Structure 1
Amino acid sequence: MSREESPGHERLQLYLNDHLAGSFAAMELIDNLISGHPQDRFGKFFRDLRNEIHADQEKLRNLIQKVGAEESAVRKAGAWLAEKFGRAKLGDADDSAELLEALEGLALGITGKRLLWRSLATISANFPELQGTNFNVLEERAQDQFSRVEDLRMDMTREAFQN
């Protein structure tokens, strides 16, 4: 059995693809938020966040290639469908309560990404394909993204539930 066929290597490929699918769902959600807030106080925030998440997504795609995997179309399609159902629930991203729920979804996704980078840092010594990537910097960037989303989420919480 070659290294690429080992159970651990196959699990790594699936793990990376699962996170890539999640990043596609996040990008869909952010694109929806950008279109709902092209010129208001949230537009720049979501455009900047989208650029950062796109850079992280490209890093993840590069890692998928390095470990010899192909991007899973099925997983990406599933993420796309999940985001579409979520969008139907949100409906009006101008409403502070709807925006609050969208931000909660983003916060969860960013937390998952932070944990991805931490996990990959932990196993990188066992996978030469992962070596040379500074996962600590990626984890710090995810933490910064989370903090900014969380700050806005708290603002929306206060706005949504004011008396």
Structure 2
Amino acid sequence: MTTSTPGARTRTRRVRTDLLGIYLNDHLAGAAVGVGRSRFAARSHRDPPYAEPLRRLAGEIAEDRGSLLGVMRALGVPPRRHKVAVSGAAERLGRLKSNGRLFRRSPLTLVIELEFLRLGVKGKELGWRTLRALAEADSRLDERELDALIARAERQVRTLEDLRLRAVRDVLLAE
């Protein structure tokens, strides 16, 4: 990216691939958690208002992970498998958290899972926005693809918020 202001010297800035590699691998670890958690939520909640949107979201979140891997390949950033493995194990352990019930799922689990997914998707959106800001300095980043990924993440956040509010009403309001 070339910057110039009147009377200033022109300079070129380039992406710090070393730091970006760490950043992208952290997002890849988060994507592994998101894929696992979204698939688990889709399998666990078969009620009509939740089942189809959760199934669709799980598929999109998995596709987004693939898009991230594609960006990493384009930038020459190798995936750090150990980060992905550790985050995947942590996600599975997180399913064992106490929910006030010993042998079955709490109704509150849906609300918590939707909040967790929404936070993850918002983090993913911010990652895409970071890459979009860098695309002006690095031609290996496809601006149109990143714009589409940002738009999809925004839609996913809205869907998860709609589901979360519905779950809050379904679970926390008494008849």
Q: Shared fold (TM-score greater than 0.5)? A: yes
Greater helix share, structure number: 1
Percentage identity across paired residues of the two chains: 29
Deviations, residues 102-126 of structure 1 (Å, cap 9, x unaligned) = 0111000000011111111111122
**Which AA in structure 2 matches 1:97?**
L
Answering whether residue 114 of structure 2 is matched by residue 107 of structure 1, we say: no
TM-score by length of 1: 0.86
1:60 is aligned to 68
Answering whether residue 156 of structure 2 is matched by residue 136 of structure 1, we say: no
Answering whether residue 169 of structure 2 is matched by residue 158 of structure 1, we say: yes
What are the ranges of 5 or more consecutive residues in structure 1 without an aligned counterpart?
1-5
2:41 is aligned to 33
What are the ranges of 5 or more consecutive residues in structure 2 without an aligned counterpart?
1-13
Deviation at 1:143, TM superposition (A): 0.5
Check conservation: 1:107, 1:150, Cα contact below 8 A. yes
Query: How far apart, CA to CA, are the structure 1 residues paired with 2:62 and 2:73?
Result: 17
TM-score by length of 2: 0.81
Report the 3-state secondary structure (helix = DSSP H, G, I; strand = E; otherwise coil) of the residue aligned with 1:130.
coil
What RMSD in Å do the two structures reach over aligned CA positions? Answer: 2.1
Q: 1:107 to 1:161 in 2, by over 3 A?
A: same
Q: How many residues align?
A: 157
Deviation at 1:31, TM superposition (A): 1.9
**Which AA in structure 2 matches 1:137?**
A
**Which AA in structure 2 matches 1:40?**
D
Q: 1:62 to 1:34 in 2, by over 3 A?
A: same
Which structure has the greater CA radius of gyration?
A: 2
Q: 1:150 to 1:94 in 2, by over 3 A?
A: farther
**Which AA in structure 1 matches 2:30?**
G
Report the 3-state secondary structure (helix = DSSP H, G, I; strand = E; otherwise coil) of the residue aligned with 2:17.
helix
Answering whether residue 64 of structure 2 is matched by residue 48 of structure 1, we say: no
1:3 is aligned to none
